[in-house]
Chain A
């Protein structure tokens, strides 16, 4: 592992939904090109940690620093712009726009960022090829399998060449074989582009694709690698 500066760090994050605390002083850090698994029982605050790190949710307390900038101090528009340009996302399911074809789905983040339609379509097809799903480019999400859909989602997450890829249970809806393939392709693609991956999962075999893991329990994240 390189000893490079951390890309994204979080200190003492707290976040409550109503009266239920989801995060209670969580710390986290990730370096470029690193794959970190965030593990923990359901309801422990894994997803909330991911949402905070990605700037989707603003924490009640604590700081998040991305490349030297304080994330929680940015306004919504700046965070949105950052998510468009620097971050990529893969969720468990239901993330592809059902009306758009797979190629259009992959091209969408580029188009949102202002890339020309032609250029976006070319990049989308290239990424679909890398994830071995270029044969479904013209299909709609409803017509393809779950494994294919998840690969399209990975392609969409990586098409903008993000520095950080956030994956929330990316194989949660897949069987082992499909899940494995998706993880192989995802980590390989991330390594190729030197993207950091925040991988939220409760499956050990998925977490095994990471470089290290962080366990969230009762809203606190502990970095077991550091403890060991």
Chain B
């Protein structure tokens, strides 16, 4: 029968079988073609995601490397003395509407100053080099206010080496007149530094273990459903394929041959899928350079899948598709006259299914409490434990569905039809729902982890927005009054309260007690403390601030204190000042930022002139909200007073932008995965309907209402999905709790997140049912009754 029985002949004929399968997949008529297309698109989506994942490490490394290369003001780059290769650099980051602009003022001190990455020549005084995105913004009408703030002529563009992503807003401007801040005392922001090089060396091994944990879990939680989905996509149209194989058996093919032909078909689908995936990825890569996703943009160059991982995807996906196909054929006997499903599959056993999640917990448990303070997590254990827990979902679900539907009673006919069908064939249902369950479990755990880890970043800010909406920081003590004057002269600010702040010590060097020093007019002081009768020349000591014994013990009339005392690292100005004998008492009051200060309050006339240099300025600004872009006008005004000034807007809550964007990202990702799985649910649903065409027509013939059949289709999807979601919640919450305990955070459950995830899944079920209804109605037509 075979062309030669030599091993080589056998091998050749085996390859021919595979090739026949491939041919069937491509040229087997419309039906086979559609099936291949479905599989290819399904696998392609999965492959594109896998390639993206494979590219992420490289992209992140590249971004991280460039971020590090442009770092300044790091310990290793600081220079103590002026030299030929030193540069004064000032941080002048600003915010424009809701975008962050990275800004640096540069002032070379010799002929060989260091160059920031991506910059060929230092900009001269009054000119700047800007990132392409910033140049576009400045040139556009919507960047007008920003261009007023940055009074520099653009003479060059920062290259890709000096940017993290294509959408970065950044500039380097040349200037003169910078001086390294003299007073480096507490409370003063260091904004000007002398450096001899850009970039920091990689310390290595200092990555936050919690961050590593997050990344690992994201990968596992999002990739596992993709795997489940690919497995489902490979099985699209399986029933029809089986019938075709049965026809082959009739022509004399043996069981092994049909298996190989099936493998060939699967292989063809998977290979097409790889091609589709590669195309999708390439398209996505180009798009990545154009769009920014939650403020993160990526250079297409950075999205290079690691060769090893790419090779792994290219080999693993086809291999897995063949393996899944063969595994699926195991329960099916393809006879020449038709397909026989292995009649009653053996009852599912629980014990080994429980081993998986329990094993997962066992792997994770020893790491509980290791947190950021207690060293790294064992990555293999984390991944292994998480994978085992999530795989536990896929293993447990068939058992749960079987056990649950076996106990379900009979209700209305629609319910009865669905339940009985599930009882007879719960495996298929569980398999299709597995993807949803894994995705939801992973997403819930991820949400909990992010919420827990970033919980400390989300809290009430204490800012009192009724009193002020912006706070301006000025490096020089004499400029707040000027800034306040100009602000109130303009339209944007309704009110501006200038203050100067500094530090007092009881000794000139290395004091043991620190007191806050706040200087301002009586009106200004009333914004930050409860001050009794006040005249210029008065000095007050705040009496009742909690935990502020230093003030009570040190601020005594006639005592000498020192403004800006020296510390171990720097000399400080250490201006001696005798507190007046008429030292008055004041009481705390929260300032507009919510801070209740202690220490000493001084009216301008009472402060020794020498101390002024040791102070920095603050202006509380109350905006006129009727003026459009009022915050931007305020920023422009104070930038004109001092380019080194910084203005921040108050918010009622500070929510870490990172947290909210990642949270949204995970949610969007989960939704995409759920939609993918919904697509595979729909395909298998349609297949099932087609298979039951005659039966459906018969049921309609004897008067079954269409609504009864539609409801039964809904139950049939909703029941396993409901069970899957229940299981997913349990596993997801468990995993989330264990992970939170691992990082030492308190375990809290954001039920809104859980509800959102389950809600989306329920919506997917409804969507699938709705989309399969037209097909159902078509199947119910009497044409299905016609024999042959």
Contacts and interface: CB of A to CB of B under 8 A. Distances in A.
Contacts of A129: none
A99 B786 contact: no
B601 to A, nearest CB: 83
A89 B701 contact: yes
A28 interface: no
Given A47-B787, A97-B417, A104-B420, A56 B700 contact: yes
B76 interface: no
A99 B695 CA distance: 11
A87 B701 CA distance: 9
B702 A109 contact: yes
Interface stretch (A65-73, A77-85, A144-152, A220-228): A77-85
Count chain A CB atoms within 10 A of each CB in B416, B421, B694 and give the residue with the most: B416
B413 A56 contact: no
Given A51-B782, A57-B782, A97-B417, A117 B410 contact: yes
B695 to A, nearest CB: 6
A156 B388 CA distance: 49
Main secondary structure of the interface of B (DSSP, over half): helix
A169 B787 contact: yes
B577 to A, nearest CB: 92
A173 to B, nearest CB: 10
A76 B425 CA distance: 32
B705 A99 contact: no
- How many chain B residues sit at the interface, stated as a range, is 20 to 34
B787 A89 contact: no
Given A84-B703, A91-B698, A109-B702, A56 B424 contact: no
Given A94-B694, A140-B424, A83 B413 contact: no
Given A47-B786, A91-B785, A54 B424 contact: no
A191 interface: no
Contacts of B708: 112
Given A57-B782, A95-B695, A80 B703 contact: yes
Interface string B707-730: 010000000000000000000000
B699 interface: yes
A80 B705 contact: yes
B703 A100 contact: no
A41 interface: no
Given A56-B785, A169-B787, A94 B695 contact: yes
B704 interface: yes
B787 A97 contact: no
Nearest to A77: B705
Contacts of A47: 785-787
A81 B703 CA distance: 6
Given A51-B785, A56-B782, A91-B785, A99 B701 contact: no
B370 interface: no
Given A113-B703, A140-B424, A156-B702, 9 more contacts: A47-B785, A84-B704, A88-B702, A89-B701, A98-B424, A100-B420, A108-B413, A112-B702, A168-B785
Interface of B: 343, 410, 412-413, 416-417, 420-421, 423-425, 694-695, 698-705, 708, 782-783, 785-787
7 contacts: A47-B785, A51-B782, A56-B785, A80-B705, A89-B702, A97-B695, A157-B702
Which 5 residue pairs are nearest across A and B when measured between Cβ atoms? A84-B703, A83-B703, A99-B420, A95-B698, A56-B782
